[in-house]
Amino acid sequence: MSLLEIENLRVNFDTEAGPVEAVRGIGFEVDRERVAIVGESGSGKSVTGRSILRLVRPPGRVTADTLRFDGQDLLTLTERKMRAIRGQRIAMVMQDPKFALNAVMTIGDQMTEGLRRRDGLSRRKATAKAIDMLRAVQIRDGERVMRAYPHEMSGGMGQRVMIAMMLIPDPDLLIADEPTSALDVTVQAEVLAILDDLVKERGMGLIFISHDLRLVSRFCDRVLVMYLGQIVERLDARNLDAAQHPYTRGLLNCLPSIGGDRGPLPVLNREASWAE
């Protein structure tokens, strides 16, 4: 039994412009390993991550033949039990930390809230633990950062704080949605290295969402390539050259490389036949 088991996951949205099939019958498993989901904008990566945590709101509809975490059926779990999993056993670093952090609470209060309320730690112990986590993501002046509000931090700092915050409960699975896309290239590499170490040290499972295939291949084990809501190719990250699918080959050939300029993504040649 894998940590996470997904079969035939589908997510639909009813919009004014008509129905949108954001995810169209995908399946994969994740163990204590690093799995990347790559694909261009709109391919369904974030929606996939959010449906694992049951964060897709109506009128969005999620169905699956299997959606299981550690043997528990996530589709039928009560909301109360789901809350115990969300943020505790499965954590998600959202694409934009600005929306994930509470703007009117200091970083320190946000980081220690759960520790104090849920785990009953004293203020002093909770603060010490939060500062430890900040140190783990290479933030050395933790005391100062704890007093800051989200808007007072740079993008890079915000991403690192998010990662630290998500790791406090020691989750079994971390879903990181473009956790470095807002960062400049040097900080990006730093944050990735930190994430990589933490995953290895803690034996967590990681789902890393990105549109940069080359980037993910450097520190993930497996890569799932998404196109129009489907998984069109599964690759061993060490062997990207084995990619067969023309869409994957397109991603490989025309994505900006690390250190290159980060202009808009080039438009790939596409064919409707790639997705059934």
Which residues contribute to the site for ligand ATP (CB under 6 A)?
Answer: 13, 15, 20, 22, 39, 41-47, 60, 95, 211
How far CA 76 is from CA of 28, 70, 150, 171, in Å, comes to 19, 14, 35, 21
Nearer to ligand ATP, 95 or 110 (CB): 95
Q: What are phi and psi of 100, to 5 degrees?
A: -90, -25
**Interface segment toward Mg ion; rule CB under 5 A; list 39-47, 66-74, 84-92, 225-233:** 39-47
**Interface segment toward Mg ion; rule CB under 5 A; list 40-48, 137-145, 222-230, 255-263:** 40-48
Count the residues in the chain.
276
Nearer to Mg ion, 46 or 248 (CB): 46
Contact 146, 108 (CB under 8 A): yes
Q: Is 43 in the site for Mg ion (CB under 5 A)?
A: no
Min separation Cβ 43 and Mg ion, Å: 9
Question: Cα separation of 179 and 190, whole Å?
Answer: 12
Min separation Cβ 207 and ligand ATP, Å: 12
Min separation Cβ 228 and ligand ATP, Å: 9
Nearer to ligand ATP, 20 or 187 (CB): 20
Nearer to ligand ATP, 58 or 260 (CB): 58
Closest C-alpha among 175, 218, 217, 215 to residue 199 = 175
Joined together, the tokens standing for residue 257 give 């490389």
42 binding partner (options ligand ATP, Mg ion, none; Cβ < 5 to 8 Å by kind): ligand ATP
Q: Please identify which residue in 43, 46, 127, 230 interacts with Mg ion, judged by CB under 5 A.
A: 46
The footprint of Mg ion on this chain (CB under 5 A) covers a number of residues equal to 1
Question: Cα separation of 112 and 114, whole Å?
Answer: 6
**149-153 contacts, C-beta under 8 A, 24 or more apart:** 149/103, 149/104, 149/105, 149/106, 149/107, 150/97, 150/98, 150/101, 150/102, 150/103, 150/107, 151/103, 153/107
**Interface segment toward Mg ion; rule CB under 5 A; list 44-52, 85-93, 100-108, 148-156:** 44-52
Min separation Cβ 46 and Mg ion, Å: 3
Min separation Cβ 11 and Mg ion, Å: 13
CB count, 10 Å around CB of 130? 27
Q: What does DSSP assign to residue 86? A: B
Binding-site ranges for Mg ion (CB under 5 A): 46
